[in-house]
Structure 1
Amino acid sequence: MRDIGRIVANVVQAMSRAMAPGMTTAELDALGESLLAREGAVSAPRSCYDFPGATCISVNEEIAHGIPGARVLAEGDLVNIDVSASKNGFFADTGASFRLGPVAPSVARLLADGEKAARIGVAQVAAGRPLAGIGQAVGRFAAKRGYTLIENLASHGVGRSLHEYPEEIATWPNRDRRRIEKGLVLTVEPFLSLGGRLAEEGDDGWTLYAAPAAPVVQFEHTVVATARGAEVLTLPG
């Protein structure tokens, strides 16, 4: 898990450094695909769900599951890069939102706070703690800072498959009664927004958009629960 976690984290960072105005999302995805292949890793969305890309790249109004293609990146874009893959039978999932050049101050603040929201969620993970604690803590932070959360995109267990028990781990205030078991591997991936509350599927059957329409950022890590807290598996290195 540490090995594939490191791989997907490195791919996200490499893609973020490579993206530039004038590049298409297909070209950016091709880079991610080649980097995964070089490490002996297999794209999870493609292998598990026949997704038409090696990675998910979502730009501006797209908030998740964006299909790489002919869309040309431009100065001022808000870009989410989500990379999940497997190696030797183990899966890891990570992602982050990036700005391509200058953006509005409200979006820059949203990006910084989106990363904070993910860290707050990760800090709630430890053996014996309630799963609901993740969403409760993220929800308090979002409310304090004047944000909304996308409430139909959830975190999930991951390990021997991309999505496994426990499914539907809320990253917003909730009443989940399940507890975190020692050794549980899961994602923490809140979607923080300037007004969006739900994700709606577009005409292509994959790409998700915020409803109401509003900027959204997502930062995601795969973590393992220990008695002392969360070990983050998706750190570059």
Structure 2
Amino acid sequence: MIIQNEQDIQALLAIGAIVAEARDAMAALVAPGITTQSLDDVCAELLKKHGALSAPMSLYDFPGVSCISVNEVACHGVPDEYVLKEGDLVNIDVSASKDGYFADTGVTLAVGRANPLQEDMIRVSKEALAAGIAAARPGTTTANIGKAIYKVARQNNYTVIRNLTGHGVGKSLHEEPHYIFNYQERRESTLLKEGNVVAIETFISNGDEWVEDNPEGVWPMRTLNQSQVVQFEHTVILRKEGNLITTASKGNPSQDTGKE
């Protein structure tokens, strides 16, 4: 989507604030002993309160309001009665729509006390997201975003997942540019324009560079050798005067570095 007027901006900020509220409320409850279904129920309640619709459920018949992925599941984890335990790594991905506008956001947390590897991967993924957002400027290309993300990953001795990407967003959940890779892929390089709305995602891995391709009807996407993946995501409006992050946490300025 490309912003056409102030109404577009305000509508995107509104749905961005809703998914950010749901993301942060769920993240605050992550602890040993809670089920992923209980977290999803919180998301469902908040979206209903604000008159928003779960994007994965409404568009793709996903069996959950949000995607909650644990450990080697890199994305599209289905909320269920799994009880989180100390040492788990959990990703919360919330996307929703209201009045025809969409936003998409994600956060990864350790359950209980983070071990040194988890703590470092979370730090690096946040830094990579900030770098990706800073690189996303009108007049540059999507490859520039991937280059910035990949540079942070490699400087810290991590890899990125190559078959999971960011994407355009706005009037639908997935739209042009369809692929914003976590590395510099020149063959899928789209020129970014003033007012482009994009979901920038980082997928930082401590081993695998690929997740398995699932047969139809199987949602969770796992790493091949049980590597852990840390994802962070923001929906961003690209502007020459500075990017506008629609999914920033409440109390933080909407225009920020992408760091939570």
Q: TM-score range by the shorter chain?
A: over 0.9
1:124 maps to 2:140: no
> Offset of 1:129 from its aligned partner?
1.2
More divergent stretch after superposition (47-56 vs 97-106): 97-106
Counterpart of 1:161 in 2: which secondary structure?
coil
| Segments ≥4 residues shifted beyond 2 Å | 201-204
* Structure 1 residues 101-112: aligned runs within 5 Å: 101-112=112-123
> Equivalent of 2:75, from 64, 71, 77?
64
Asked whether the equivalents of residues 46 and 54 of structure 1 are also in contact (C-alpha less than 8 Å), the reply is yes
Q: Distance in 1 between matches of 2:59 and 2:168?
A: 15
User: Which stretch of structure 1 is more off in the superposition, 205-214 or 168-177?
Assistant: 168-177
Q: Choose the corresponding residue for 2:45, options 34, 50, 62.
A: 34
Q: Percent identity?
A: 43
Aligned-partner Cα distance in 2 for 1:149–1:72: 28
**1:228 positional shift:** 2.3
Q: Distance in 2 between matches of 1:137 and 1:187?
A: 15
Alignment of 1:41-80 (within 5 A): 41-80=52-91
Instruction: Please give the alpha-carbon distance, in whole angstroms, between the structure 1 residues aligned to 2:241 and 2:208.
Output: 34
Distance 2:65 2:75 in 1: 14
Letter in structure 1 aligned against 2:231: Q
Question: Secondary structure in 1 aligned to 2:230?
Answer: strand
Question: 1:6: how far off?
Answer: 0.8
The TM-score normalised by the length of structure 1 is: 0.96
Q: CA deviation at 1:168?
A: 1.2
CA contact (8 A) 1:74 1:100 kept: yes
The residue type equivalent to 2:236 in the other structure is: V
* 1:82-101 to 2 correspondences below 5 Å: 82-101=93-112
Question: Which residue among 167, 192, 195 is the counterpart of 2:207?
Answer: 195
How far apart, CA to CA, are the structure 2 residues paired with 1:182 and 1:149?
28
CA contact (8 A) 1:7 1:236 kept: no
Q: As a proportion of its length, which structure holds more strand? A: 1
**Structure 2 unmatched runs, 5+:** 1-11, 251-260
Q: Could you tell me how far 1:134 is from its partner in structure 2?
A: 0.4
How far residue 25 of structure 1 moved from its aligned partner, in angstroms, is 0.8
Deviation at 1:229, TM superposition (A): 3.3
Task: Give the AA of the match of 1:112.
Answer: R
Aligned pair 1:214/2:224, yes or no? Answer: no
Q: Do residues 142 (structure 1) and 191 (structure 2) align?
A: no
Aligned partners of 1:137, 1:32: CA distance in 2, in Å? 32
For 1:17, the equivalent position in structure 2 comes to 28
C-alpha distance in 2, partners of 1:89/1:74?
38
Displacement of 1:50 in angstroms is 0.3
Aligned-pair CA distance for 1:201: 4.2
Aligned runs of 1:171-186 on 2, under 5 Å?
171-175=182-186, 176-186=188-198
Q: In the alignment, residue 180 of structure 1 is paired with which amino acid?
A: L
Count of aligned pairs between the two proteins: 237
* TM-score of the two chains, using structure 2 as the length reference: 0.88
1:34 CA displacement:
0.4
Q: Distance in 2 between matches of 1:20 and 1:177?
A: 40
Deviation at 1:126, TM superposition (A): 1.5
Aligned residues: CA RMSD: 1.3
Three-state SS of the structure 2 residue aligned to 1:220 is strand
> Aligned partner of 2:211: which letter?
A
CA distance in 2: counterparts of 1:181 and 1:229, whole angstroms: 13
Aligned to 1:205: 218
Question: Aligned partners of 2:63, 2:53: CA distance in 1, in Å?
Answer: 14
Instruction: Tell me if 1:231 matches 2:228.
Output: no
User: What 5-or-longer segments of structure 1 have no aligned partner?
Assistant: none
